């Protein structure tokens, strides 16, 4: 699965390099409220993609942290339950050994 991610990253970098090298298209005007920007279409598209990636990361990171914390809590709970489950059996065997001696 990681190979797939690395391959996608390489393809994305290749597309970005290709786009930047072929950015001889005339400038476009971007209007947002009172601001006006002039930029190449390629830089506008790459900037929009970059902002989208950052926004997704900001939404994903808290969820991933919560899931990681929950996973650790559940693993501790499992360990505690296993010790409770298996310890009485060990104590019962030790008690039988003492009686036999």
Q: For residue range 41-67, what is the model confidence (pLDDT) as tens digits?
A: 777 888 888 888 889 888 888 888 999
pTM: 0.51
Whether residue 95 has pLDDT greater than 80: no
Alpha-carbon dihedral 44, 45, 50, 55, rounded to 10 degrees? 100
Average pLDDT of the chain? 80
pLDDT for 88: 62
Whether residue 39 has pLDDT greater than 60: yes
Residue of 55 and 2 predicted with greater confidence:
55
Percent of the chain with pLDDT over 90: 13
86: part of which helix (H) or strand (E)? helix 41-100
How many other C-beta atoms can be found within 10 angstroms of the C-beta atom of residue 49?
13
How many other C-beta atoms can be found within 10 angstroms of the C-beta atom of residue 39?
14
Whether residue 3 has pLDDT greater than 90: no
């Amino acid at each position: 699965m990681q190979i797939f991610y690395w391959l996608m990253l390489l393809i994305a970098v290749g597309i970005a390099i290709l786009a930047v090298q072929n950015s001889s298209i005339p400038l476009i005007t971007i209007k947002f409220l009172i601001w006006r920007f002039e930029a190449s279409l390629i830089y506008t598209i790459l900037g929009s993609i970059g902002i989208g990636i950052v926004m997704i990361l900001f939404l994903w990171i808290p969820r991933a942290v919560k899931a990681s914390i929950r996973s650790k809590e559940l693993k501790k709970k499992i360990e505690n339950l296993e010790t409770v489950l298996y310890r009485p059996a060990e104590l019962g065997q030790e008690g039988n050994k003492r009686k036999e001696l």
